[in-house]
Amino acid sequence: MITGASTACLYPMETEKSLKVLLEQGYRCFEVFINSFSEMERPFLSELKAMGEHYGAKFVSVHPFTSMYEKSLLFGSYPRRTEDGFAFYMKYMEAAAFLGAKHVVIHGIGGHLEPKAYWERFGELYRRAASTGARPAQENVRWFPEADPAFMKGMREYLGDDCGFVLDVKQCRVTGYPIEDMIEAMGDKLKHVHLSDARGEKTCLLPGAGDFDMEGFRRQLERAGFDGSIVTEVYREVFGELDELGQSRAALEKAFLC
């Protein structure tokens, strides 16, 4: 396993500035949350890549800023828009591959398609992305069918090798589905983890700031054979000073890299 952070933790700070802060706080593994069209272009990506190389860091995933539109862009009922949406999402795949990342996080839909139709659409995107070097990875997202472990299990069994998953632990907390059930549902197609801590009614804190059993979670992942990336993904308002990020990194590494 490798641990790191998402640049989304500092949103709405600009992506390159967020990366710089996280590098200065000792992180060396990253998910890049792309926040605009120009951030998918080679000049901007080259800047991020050079910054990471200077620190000996690596990029593992990219998160699209258009997640909320995927219901229409990727999983809608208008064929031409779907084709255009696939072409547009290839740009995210290419951006990820340029950075050396393997995964592009997909949120998906809110029940617009029947499960089988959704799975087939995702599988088509997955196969098309093969030429880029990066692949889409389905996240368990609240409000959506993907929040249910049964949906994810069905997707894994239906698509076989043509799928991958992102486990977001805070999404499990807010939906009430046990994290261990989601790990089991995703099985060997679990590639990437969004981690946060919790305490009481606070469901999204920096790792180490709550009472979530991170070492127990690590053991669950180990039993599932997981050997991918675990990145902190929280909202800027849940912490104060920037050095709290460094403290959280130490707690993260203690739990997962011991």
pTM of the predicted model as reported, rounded to 2 decimal places: 0.97
Question: For the segment 32-87, what is each residue's pLDDT rounded down to a tens digit?
Answer: 999 999 999 999 999 999 999 999 999 999 999 999 999 999 999 999 999 999 99
Point out which residues pair with 59 in neighbouring strands: 30
Residues with Cβ < 8 Å from 194, sequence gap 6 or more? 6, 31, 139, 166, 167, 168, 169, 170, 171, 231, 233
Strand blocks (E) in the chain: 2-6, 29-33, 58-63, 103-106, 135-139, 165-168, 190-195, 197-199, 202-205, 229-232
Q: What is the Cα–Cα distance from 255 to 114, expressed in whole angstroms? A: 39
Residue whose C-alpha is closest to residue 67's, from 142, 13, 5 = 142
Q: What is the reported pLDDT for 227? A: 95
Q: pLDDT-based confidence at 258, cuts 50/70/90?
A: low
Instruction: Name the 3-class secondary structure at 61.
Output: strand
pLDDT in tens, 129-176: 999 999 999 999 998 899 999 999 999 999 999 999 999 999 999 999
Task: Determine the pLDDT at residue 109.
Answer: 84
Give tens-digit pLDDT for 2-24.
999 999 999 999 999 999 999 99
Question: What's residue 2's pLDDT?
Answer: 97
2-256 topology per CATH = TIM Barrel (3.20.20)
CA 87, distance to chain mean position in Å, is 21
Q: How many CB atoms lie within 10 A of CB 146?
A: 26
pLDDT digits (tens, 9 = 90+) for 88-127: 999 999 999 999 999 999 999 876 899 999 999 999 999 9
What's the whole-number average pLDDT of the chain? 97
- Give the start-to-end residue ranges of the domains of the chain: 2-256
